[in-house]
Amino acid sequence: MPEPIVFEDTVSYLLAKVTTAYRNTIEQHMAKIDLHSGQVFVLIELWHQDGIKQIELAKLLNVKAPTVSNMLRGLEKINLIRTKKTTKDGRAMTVHLTEKGKKIRAEVEKRWIDVEAECIAPLSKSDRVVLFEVLKKLRGTYTGQNVIDED
């Protein structure tokens, strides 16, 4: 007879709970500069490489094409980005930061520092280091480049 699972004792359960709550934290902080969490992640990618195609953005963000489509509509509405048809490929659209989109980075960075502080506040230094490494591994699982290590 299988014992009932104590869901609360699984990493999956805790991870799901923490991550939901955590998304909220980002929303709260970014709302102060009239941004949503998803928009911030798009901007981060564009600050890295401006002018990339939507499909590339989707891969970097690890989301699907329709999600990118929606987000870009929102970002275009508040004048942070513009989309352009490419000449090489009649299907593709490239995404470009506006001046406003470039400038807002400083604001986002300020807020991000607050988010990070709030995030790691309850953790000891060693916990922080371990969490960072573990999250990198977990991220690998979901983005493909998985590395299994034993001990």
Long-range contacts of 55-63 (CB under 8 A, 24+ apart): 55/92, 57/95, 62/142, 62/143
Q: Are 60 and 70 in contact (CB under 8 A)?
A: no
Binding of residue 121 to its own copies (CB under 8 A): yes
When binding is defined by CB under 7 A, the residue of 43, 46, 71, 115 that contacts DNA is 71
Beta bridge partners of 81: 97
Binding of residue 89 to its own copies (CB under 8 A): no
Partner in contact with 72, chosen from DNA, its own copies, none, beta carbon below 5 to 8 Å by kind: DNA
In 3-state terms, what secondary structure has residue 135? helix
What residues from 6 to 35 belong to the interface with DNA (CB under 7 A)?
A: 20, 24, 27
When binding is defined by CB under 7 A, the residue of 49, 69, 141, 143 that contacts DNA is 69
When binding is defined by CB under 7 A, the residue of 25, 50, 82, 93 that contacts DNA is 93
Partner in contact with 134, chosen from DNA, its own copies, none, beta carbon below 5 to 8 Å by kind: its own copies
Partner in contact with 119, chosen from DNA, its own copies, none, beta carbon below 5 to 8 Å by kind: its own copies
The token pair that represents 139 in the structure block: 């991220």
Q: b/e string for 114-128 if b means 16 or more Cβ within 10 A?
A: ebeeeeeeeeeeeee
Q: Are 37 and 30 in contact (CB under 8 A)?
A: yes
Binding of residue 146 to its own copies (CB under 8 A): yes
Residue numbers at the binding site for DNA (CB under 7 A): 20, 24, 27, 36-39, 41, 53-55, 58, 61-74, 83, 88-94
